[in-house]
Amino acid sequence: MTAGGGVIHQEMPKASKGMMHGLQLWVNLPAKDKMMEPRYRGILDQEVPVVKMPEGEVRVIAGVYKNVTGPVQELVVDVAYLDVRLRKGMALSHTAKQGYTSFCYLIEGKGEFDDSKLEQAQLILFTEAGSIVVKAIEDIHYIFVTGKQLSEPIAWGGPIVMNTRKELEIAFRELDEGTFIKKKEKSTGTRI
């Protein structure tokens, strides 16, 4: 989903065996695109390509991995989002490009992420370019995300992300007044 010029939404995931897992990732839009036309696209499990290898498997959600492109595209910002399962004792390397921020979030298991040991539900942030080596101490499931840095200010409040406090205040005022959602008028060709 791209919120752009205004989307109000609510996630209603279904529990499975009394458990519910979810991971929500927000990609900040550049200032020039903040109020773009909102859009949404649902992606089904079978639409996410899987790269299988001896070390485990990588589901490519966004970006490209080993010449396989994920179904989440047109994100405005260059982003890769990989869902990785790595077998115990195996290692995998990810590339962090210059001018990008990357992170790994460990969903299950224990692993070593560039000499830092992580356990379930821990995250490690990488801000330098280079190779990020992940070693599985036991079977692990993690998310690897990398995205181009915008180098723009961020003003964040709840579900709204803007570039300045003033823009944020305007957005919340519009939300209160019911004018936050911007609707494009269809052209009828008639001028008044």
Q: In what order do the strands lie in the sheet with 91-96?
A: 91-96, 130-136, 110-113, 116-119
In angstroms, rounded to a whole number, what is the distance separating the alpha carbons of residues 166 and 6? Answer: 17
Task: Please name the CATH architecture into which domain 48-148 falls.
Answer: Sandwich (2.60)
Higher pLDDT, 82 or 5: 82
With a pLDDT cut of 90, the percent of the chain lying above it is: 62
Cα angle 56, 90, 86; round to 5:
35
Q: What is the pLDDT of residue 190?
A: 42
Please check the confidence at residue 189 and state whether its pLDDT lies above 70. Answer: no
* Domains in the chain: boundaries: 48-148, 151-179
How confident is the prediction for the chain on average, in pLDDT?
88
Decide: helix, strand or coil at residue 94. Answer: strand
Give residue 9's pLDDT band: very low, low, confident or very high (50, 70, 90).
Answer: low
Q: Give the pLDDT confidence of 77-94 residue by residue, as tens digits.
A: 999 999 999 999 999 999
Q: pLDDT digits over 117-129, tens only? A: 999 999 999 988 9
- The per-residue pLDDT for 49 is 98
**What would the mean pLDDT of 21-32 be, rounded to a whole number?**
84
For the cut 60, the answer to whether the pLDDT of residue 191 exceeds it is: no
Residue 125's nearest CA partner among 92, 109, 149 is 149
pLDDT (0 to 100) of residue 187: 47
- What is the reported pLDDT for 184? 62
Query: Looking at the predicted structure, is the pLDDT value of residue 74 above 70?
Result: yes
Tokens of 167: 């823009």
Among 4-13, 38-47, 104-113, 156-165, top mean pLDDT goes to 104-113
Question: Of 176 and 136, which is predicted with more confidence?
Answer: 136
Alpha-carbon distances of 72 from 9, 145, 176, rounded to whole Å? 19, 13, 32
Q: Is the pLDDT of residue 183 over 70?
A: no
pLDDT of the residue at 186: 53
CA dist., res. 69 & res. 58, Å (int) = 12
Sign of CA dihedral 42, 147, 13, 182: negative
